[in-house]
Structure 1
């Protein structure tokens, strides 16, 4: 028995943010039924790279879930959806504000049918505000929240991040909010509408820069800091990336004096007092450290890090993460069996280690089972499936 074993979630989301949220909740034991459109289902299914004929990312995000196809463009599909939602604890709504209202399936209407329903409304900019109706993607949200603007280089525009920070954190905030709402419902018997905006959720990732701005915008040295020059965005030589003798990137994060002293003692450097304070002198110190790192290979620096407590690690390419000794020891990547063969999976911090998982579902694989669970008769089930098949054929 996992913590959410008796919790039922109907998930309308696709791509990354919503499915990440429901992956976490499914790992915690919730029944997650993924409602997909009969016109092709979740777009992520079809995107490369693929494993066994389906998107590898889709298979990572959707293990243990069921898939139901329903045509919400038809009156009978919308009626069926309203009946269906009434049997769930949580609805994950990933659409822009007003989309479900235009279908006659707004949050108020659904909660009138089921006052215990928790609607988790995940959007880019929120249910209110001047940008509420605007389309966007991860890059837009980190830009608007100020996260992107904190990145360097100082002499040019910020670089596109190598990870989807707003998408993944948006999913995590959904999971946190749903868990809190379920606990609140135990006390009150009432559900809620949760307004989760990815821009809101990612703002905390800009906290160091935001704190400096709220304090007046000056660095500890007194001058306004440019993007890429603050302590945690590239402004400090002891907190930076350097290339080893054999061309491998090494991440040094010796922010505290004790770690900086340990690194310097091992590398034969003078642990300068102002090395941990931003300022023009950091340019020369970075050059000195770059030269020091070129004296040893990655393997030699890893041996150095094992001997000295100095916050030094190699930069791991995610394509080789499965072979990294530490990540492998934690079991963060594993495989599950599916009719399409062995499928690789990602373990989150809450993924149970002693549980078995069903593979990601085929589109509509569980339509009959999901509708039957909600009390639909066999005739009603078959009529809805025929209607969906007719639209898909067109």
Structure 2
């Protein structure tokens, strides 16, 4: 007997676009939810137009929307809006990503849906939350990071911040809080028979990533100094050092046992091994040591050692080391080309809680049906 997936039978109506909402509903789909996505007529979700392409849509769209169904719906047209509202009345979960007030004006807001579906879990993902002076402003990941204070805590020698390594606000501030709260709200709806309206603000959820800065502030230590705190460049123990061949070593030897072994291995002069009170001088001395040899030298030296230091890998090196999985058994297929598929984004949903090793197509954009797709 096959064990049902955790979200088998859960109906999700996805009104979102681009990344935060679609990635959230992908994770729900991985756990067994039946996701129906409504997109604007014509090009559909803007993510479909990105490059590179995989069939008629972009590879980005393909990996974010595999296993879903998608229908074109003009939500400003009263007849199609009413059809969307009928779908909302059937859904267990609705995910939307419009600016605050837009779904209300369309007649698809929480109150309109709740009147027909009191158990619905309605999740609104926004940049700045449902109210306040920033609520209706446009933004993207970089904007949210900048205004939340996170972008400015790590700076270079000129005081300039760097582009983040990925879209932190979208995923850590949007997708993951949305999934967590949807699951909690579904559990609550099972117990009480009542749904809820979840408000997920990507900017405000970035506060969790700044937990250490909050703790310092609340203890009376002030706000973080750009490039000067333990994890932002102020300590030689947590730093990025250039090597002689233009590569870099990422050092994270915070604990004393790791630090003691690191400075012994690299041959740091005895007067610099105690970094307390002379952080800048130790950072400079350590930089000179790392700059004396190429990356391969340091990689071999650190092999088998507990020093919490590593050469900054390129993507192909990370793949070769088995730390990036590009051969996942989960595959996404092109609905317009039978047999065309590629290994897709590895899911953070445990393989014991999803259909592991499954090939699923991303959705072609179909006309909105007259009957329920969940029938």
How does the TM-score come out when normalised to structure 1? 0.85
Residue 59 of structure 1 contacts residue 343 of structure 1 at CA under 8 Å; is this kept in 2? no
Q: How far has the Cα of 1:176 moved from its partner?
A: 0.3
What is the 5 A alignment of 1:238-387?
Answer: 238-269=237-268, 270=270, 272=272, 274-275=274-275, 277=276, 281-318=278-315, 321-328=318-325, 335-338=331-334, 339-340=336-337, 341-350=340-349, 352=351, 354-364=356-366, 367-368=368-369, 371-374=371-374
* Match of residue 134, structure 1, among 133, 137, 140: 137
Give how far 1:166 is off.
Answer: 0.3
Decide which structure has greater helix share.
1
Aligned pairs, how many? 364
Higher deviation after alignment, 31-40 or 115-124: 31-40
The match for 1:187 is 191
- More displaced, 17-26 or 200-209? 200-209
Distance 2:323 2:66 in 1: 24
Counterpart contact for 1:242–1:251, Cα < 8 Å = yes
The change in CA–CA distance for 1:201 and 1:90 in structure 2 (over 3 A counts) is: same
Could you report, residue by residue, the CA deviation over 1:166-217 in whole angstroms, capped at 9, with x for unpaired residues? 0011101100000000111111011110011001111111222233233334
Native 8 Å contact 1:51 1:343 kept in 2 = no
CA pair 140-76 structure 1, distance change in 2 beyond 3 A: same
Give unpaired runs (5+ residues) of structure 2.
none
Q: Note closer, same or farther for the CA distance 1:306–1:271 as it changes in structure 2 (3 Å cut).
A: farther
Name the CA distance, whole Å, in 2 between partners of 1:196 and 1:173.
Answer: 7
Give the TM-score, by structure 2 length: 0.89
The answer for unaligned runs of 5 or more in structure 1 is: 219-223, 376-394
CA contact (8 A) 2:13 2:37 kept: yes
Q: What residue number does 1:156 align with?
A: 159
Q: Deviation of residue 335 (structure 1)?
A: 4.0
Deviations, residues 37-59 of structure 1 (Å, cap 9, x unaligned): 11321001101233345322111
Deviation string, structure 1 residues 120-167 (Cα, Å, up to 9, x no partner): 011011112221111111112112222112121364232221311000
Query: Is the Cα contact below 8 Å between 1:154 and 1:227 reproduced in 2?
Result: no
Structure 1 window deviating more from structure 2 (263-272 vs 243-252): it is 263-272
